Amino acid sequence: MLRNVLIFLVCHVALFASAQVTRLGEVVDYSLPSTYTVAGVTVTGVEFSDVQAIKLFAGIQVGQEITVPGDDITQAIRNLWRQQLFSDISIYAAEVRGTEIFLVIDLKEMPRLGKYNFPGLKRSERESLRELLDLYSGRIVNENLIATTKKKIIDHYIDKGFLNADVTVTTEPYDQIENSVKMAIKVNKGQRVKISEINFVGVEEMSEKKLARSMKETKQKAWWRVFKSSKYIEESYEGDKEALIAKYNAKGFRNARIVSDSIYRTADNRIAIDITVDEGTQFYFRNIYFSGNTKYRSSQLDSILKIKSGDVYDAQMLETRLYMNPKGLDITSLYQDDGYLQFQAFPVEVLVENDSIDIEVRMYEGKQFRIGRVTVVGNTKTNDHVIYREIKTKPGALFSRTDIIRTQRELARLNYFNPEAFQVNPIQNDDEGTVDIEYVVEEKPSDQIELSGGWGGGRVVGTLGLSFTNFSLRRMFKKDAWRPIPSGDGQQLSIRAQSNGVFFQSYNLSFTEPWLGGKKPNSLTFGVYHSIQSNGQRRTIDGEANPLRQSLNITGASIGFGQRWKRPDDWFLMYAGISYQHFDLNNFQSFFSFANGKSNNLALNFSIQRNSVADPIFPTWGSNVKFSFKATAPYSFIRKNVLGEDVDYASMTDEEKFKWVEYHKWKFTANWYTPLTKGSEENNRKLVLNANFGMGVLGLYNSDIGLSPFERFYLGGVFLSGFVLDGREIVNLRGYDDLSVTYPNPNTGSPSIVKYGVELRYPLSTNPNATIYALSFLEAGNTWANVRDFNPFNVKRAGGVGLRIFLPMFGLLGLDYGWRLDDIPEVPNMTQGQFHFSIGMNLGEL
């Protein structure tokens, strides 16, 4: 405000100066510029701003010579205006003594923010905007703050598809705080603007549907589009245009380009997009030559490249097979797995003739590197030897990129470290021909406390479980190791108890040493358990057995040996073990064909598994295929053919038949994980398809004895009771009542089962402290009372959606809504759709 530049001047300053001149006997001519020395600078009118900072901003210091009138004072005012801290600025002379001048900088500060609100917005929207905006009490309110606030809010709503969003910001004095204002931020979102249509112009060689699918984020509105909205986001649209050209390039149209595009309104809440494309000519590979290769013959490299003369020209595919294949099947991996760390390959177009292109792959092999030092940093809990035994890169071996990738997967499978924070730092020593490898890990919580509740047997069942996945048995007797438990050696210890009061109690303990002896990945597992189920009656009355008590006591133990195989490949796992169960039935008729007596179940367990799944919480690719076999000895055959006993099983009671239960049980399960989308550096989340299949059969040795009452299959619902210690396998089928798809009936179980389905999973949070993903599913399954009736196409179907939350301390929490597609005649009143809640458990092995 130049009117304030009344320096010594004309109004009250001139009068004041005249008085001084008269008193000092000096004459000042204000029509002529004069030079003065600043003898003092005083700042007035400020309360919140720093006085010394204001003097520095003004640029006028004591001892400085200034010209009055002149540019010095004008520049000082401009400097202060740039700070956007003041609403009024005046600079005047307080006193003149000869050639010395005393200045006053008089300011009026900008108002400060007292409070702000969003009239008319919902609470959730207000909270979102508060997180977005950098507004707080005491912040200076100026035009820049208001403009920035508007822009952030409008950009926020544009990203949500509200292209017509408008923001008005008003201020009024806030009486509770001096020199402060209350800001009202009024948001008018308008209607969400959708893309009504996307039109392609000039497209002849490509399918418009394929081009539309190549645009992953920009979609036109359609009634069937559920998982992807049709909102317009400029940044995403620009990326999709590049994807569209990449689609052309993949089909040989190397010169394809977007000539023009236009976006226009078709209604207040609709826009259309026209994209005009110049497709150009479709090109083909003709000859591909290799130069610089001495390690491998060109014919060997051709077998990996797998590109023939006449194939459609696809530069991206060529690059993938040279050095970018995520599965490692490329030429660069071939070299780098053999120590050629510095290997490079450059494809060059050496001749373009008509529609054919000749490629020369110029290669630099370099020299072979061997691995020097291998170090691990970042592990604060897990002991070094637990990590080093999983590392595939060994000192002295040739450098191998595949071994590094495999190491990353093996460390992720331990579930001790945050997979997103994993890093590999190779350090080359060119003079020595070695490369040091440093693995960087970040510990994450892996132990679990299971607190769960479920409904079973007509009552609520509570569970308390402690699962320590990184336990250390050898440090149990060291006082300083209990923080809160001895850990770091990679052993698993599980302690679990269940109860619903006097009717049911269960206790079990298991321990696994994954590296028995410490040198090879051979595991040893053992466990013991005991359970009591009863009608709640006391055992004795006045020292005598209570005749009203009904109970089933089960005591069991198991021991097993596991081994990782190197053939057919090192994804294979073998397990062999022995399990024993003792059943004591006292007038207990709920589950079995006999109510009193004792039964024993001594069985051999054997399984072969190929598991290439890296992340156990949210797998993005890989598979897990398992075949398992469990069998008892054929006691009836031994008694008759080995011991020569003449036993009439047909006349025996079930109690006598099953004193030593006999059976053989076969199961096959498979899970495949396939990523359907590619993650990016900004967003590494992937849409994953999980396809699964499982079947099981319980067989018998002797038809006179019949099927075992134990080890049967049960299907339906999401069963949470935990009554599974008698060997039964409860498999869940969402959308149906608990155990309702079990034939011949839910009490006796079934000897045969099949289940298969697919799930689409998308992670909402990949934070290792709270992994959350949403899913949709289709699944089907059934059971049969007789193995001969087994029919994998006669199944009960269901579909639905769900949510999974994995918390390291509590395990997996799940909520599903299932909608059954078939009726169960035995349960005519079953609801069509129902919610299922699960805590601390998966949805059945099958």
Q: Taking 60 as the threshold, does the pLDDT of residue 573 lie above it?
A: yes
Distance from CA of residue 797 to its chain's centroid?
29
Q: Taking 70 as the threshold, does the pLDDT of residue 456 lie above it?
A: no
The whole-number pLDDT of residue 734 equals 93
The whole-number pLDDT of residue 846 equals 66
Q: Taking 50 as the threshold, does the pLDDT of residue 711 lie above it?
A: yes
pLDDT confidence bin for 72, thresholds 50/70/90: confident
The tens digit of pLDDT for each residue in 235-249 reads 889 999 999 999 999
Tell me the domain boundaries of the chain: 2-109, 112-188, 194-278, 284-364, 370-440, 448-839
The verdict on domain 448-839 having CATH code 3.40.50.10440 is: no
Q: Choose the weakest-confidence range: 6-10, 82-86, 359-363, 572-576.
A: 6-10
The whole-number pLDDT of residue 186 equals 94
- In CATH, which of 3.20.20.70, 1.10.260.40, 3.10.20.310, 1.10.3080.10 is domain 112-188? 3.10.20.310
From the CB of residue 7, how many other CB atoms can be counted at a distance below 10 Å? 22
The answer to whether the CB of 475 falls within 8 A of the CB of 486 is: yes
- In CATH, which of 2.60.40.10, 3.20.130.10, 3.10.20.310, 3.40.50.300 is domain 370-440? 3.10.20.310
The pLDDT mean for the chain works out to 86
Tokens standing for 520? 């090879």
Q: Taking 80 as the threshold, does the pLDDT of residue 187 lie above it?
A: yes
pLDDT confidence bin for 6, thresholds 50/70/90: very low
The whole-number pLDDT of residue 11 equals 36
Q: Which CATH class is domain 2-109?
A: alpha beta
Q: Taking 60 as the threshold, does the pLDDT of residue 843 lie above it?
A: no
Tokens standing for 648? 């009439």
The answer to whether the CB of 255 falls within 8 A of the CB of 280 is: yes
Q: Which CATH class is domain 194-278?
A: alpha beta
Q: Taking 50 as the threshold, does the pLDDT of residue 7 lie above it?
A: no
The beta strands (E) that lie in 406-458 are given as 423-429, 434-440, 448-456
Write the CB contacts of 817 (distance below 8 Å, at least 6 apart in sequence). 800, 801, 802, 833, 834, 835, 836
Which CA distances in Å does 14 have to 2, 21, 30, 34, 70? 17, 10, 8, 14, 16
Q: Do domains 2-109 and 194-278 have the same CATH topology?
A: yes
Which DSSP state fits 320? I
The tens digit of pLDDT for each residue in 499-552 reads 877 787 889 999 999 999 888 889 999 999 998 888 888 888 877 888 888 888
The answer to whether the CB of 564 falls within 8 A of the CB of 389 is: no
Q: Choose the weakest-confidence range: 25-29, 71-75, 617-621.
A: 25-29
Q: Taking 60 as the threshold, does the pLDDT of residue 444 lie above it?
A: yes
pTM, whole model, 2 decimals? 0.63
Summarize the confidence of residues 561-570 as an average pLDDT.
Answer: 89
**Rounded distance between C-alpha atoms, residue 19 and residue 17, angstroms:** 5
Q: Taking 90 as the threshold, does the pLDDT of residue 17 lie above it?
A: no
The tens digit of pLDDT for each residue in 199-224 reads 999 999 999 999 998 998 899 888 77
Summarize the confidence of residues 829-843 as an average pLDDT.
Answer: 77
**CATH no. for 284-364:** 3.10.20.310
The whole-number pLDDT of residue 651 equals 85
From the CB of residue 458, how many other CB atoms can be counted at a distance below 10 Å? 8
Tokens standing for 443? 């510990």
The residue whose two tokens read 């045969």 is 752
pLDDT confidence bin for 684, thresholds 50/70/90: low
The beta strands (E) that lie in 211-269 are given as 257-267
pLDDT confidence bin for 770, thresholds 50/70/90: confident
